[in-house]
Structure 1
């Protein structure tokens, strides 16, 4: 039986979905701008081998709002583990959730394992773009950051009521284009809507988005991987999303950087063939097998 509940994390409530079962527990964490619904298809694929719990990270979905920091996110996760009586769970995260999973592994050597699904801080300097001319790298980074600036300027915006049906239809079309489960995709979209005082807005809000951007820009996973003593698997993408294609050379260089970073550490890593950053949508069954096999190792 699938069960939704709110966990009292002290500062704020954290929403979780328990897929049930008596197998070894596994917690799934979504990426920035998503929520637990984004992990539904992967959770279903993992249910045969694990008791799966998906989580709305703070500022997303049905969880509460609060200042974002890595320590705060890890404390939220610890509250989920304690209150749901999960004995030594594995932690698997995608994108932002993958970074949280990596940090959890660093701090919990007793963990049976953590898996980071393409959770890499974005490039912020030419040094993170090996093989590119430094001048061109700096120019491309500036152009990319302008795109991010425009994206973040629209975070948390109010949606006029007459525009919401069209927006939902565009989300349906996006699900079809990605080959995603349309019902799950729309649940994820609706789960991040906030209805208050007759107005509708989308989570995360502008403040949370700005905090996340700063945190991810400043995070260096190299020392995190070096200090990790529990088993860790890093799954990396091998191709661009459509939105990344105008920056193809930059993202190819950054993929080289994250591979070099993982290869220099003690973690296991895998470059997933024909997978973009949306690998959780593209190849959930394959990821479930990889995760299950790794944790049973």
Structure 2
């Protein structure tokens, strides 16, 4: 039986779209990535509802939520409004891509949060070049510079044609998307599961594949170093791409359910 319920929660004058998948267990807020919407969780939420109370939202400027200035604080305020209105007490948080970084900031602000799951949402490909491992891809510094510039240009072209989020909030959103959230994850005290994709997205231009190899190698290096010195961080690599939420919803649901259950046992 379909127990999905859609509604809006007001954060001041801003309507935030919410989707409940049923369930009466531990609450878990589900956060989509930049340019997406809450429907990204539709293949995962119903499975989670067997043991949890999953609630997905459209981030501001996305889906059917209202438009408002983007910042981490503003997005967190929206989540707080939803948690208060739906009486989500000590919710766990799971996020994909940008949603993973937002989940980290939720737990940083709310240390009572029992668990965080980040699905390939720890660091964007366009950050400091120190975050890459060019040797893993056989790249020189000059080649790395060129490919980072090429990737930035591709992201710029995509942003220029975006209807949601609107162009006037894209610059602020882009700054968030391109941030490195590993330092935030390191500061948390709650159990965190960092899920790393190991393959590139289909359709990636072939010339950019070495850049993504260098990116994933640098991310793996830094995540493993953090996990070795921070016992609350747990790492899992999966044989999938950044689109793992759509490629392997059953496995994603199992990872979230198992991790949250262990953290709240």
TM-score in same-fold range (> 0.5) = yes
1:86 aligns to what? Answer: 88
Query: SS at 2:9's partner residue?
Result: strand
CA distance in 1, matches of 2:140, 2:75: 37
Contact 1:92 1:115 in 2 (8 A): yes
CA distance in 2, matches of 1:209, 1:152: 7
1:179 aligns to what? Answer: none
Relative to the length of structure 1, the TM-score reads 0.80
Relative to the length of structure 2, the TM-score reads 0.90
CA distance in 2, matches of 1:261, 1:84: 37
Contact 1:108 1:230 in 2 (8 A): no
Contact 2:91 2:113 in 1 (8 A): yes
2:156 aligns to what? Answer: 149
CA distance in 2, matches of 1:242, 1:269: 24
CA distance in 1, matches of 2:74, 2:225: 29
Structure 2: give runs of 5+ residues left out of the alignment: none
Mapping of residues 137-176 of structure 1, within 5 Å: 137-156=144-163
Deviation track 1:45-91 (CA, whole Å, cap 9, x = no partner) reads 21111111110000011111001001111111111111110111110
Contact 2:132 2:219 in 1 (8 A): no
CA distance in 1, matches of 2:249, 2:82: 24
2:75 aligns to what? Answer: 73
1:249 aligns to what? Answer: 210
Out of 234, 242, 246, the position equivalent to 1:268 is 234
CA distance in 2, matches of 1:209, 1:93: 20
1:225 aligns to what? Answer: 185
Mapping of residues 182-261 of structure 1, within 5 Å: 203-217=164-178, 219-246=179-206, 247-261=208-222
2:37 aligns to what? Answer: 35
CA distance in 2, matches of 1:220, 1:241: 20
1:278 aligns to what? Answer: 243
Return the offset for 1:133: 1.8
Contact 2:6 2:20 in 1 (8 A): yes
2:103 aligns to what? Answer: 101
Matched, 1:293 2:253: no
1:60 aligns to what? Answer: 62
Return the offset for 1:245: 4.5
CA distance in 1, matches of 2:56, 2:64: 12
Query: SS at 1:243's partner residue?
Result: coil
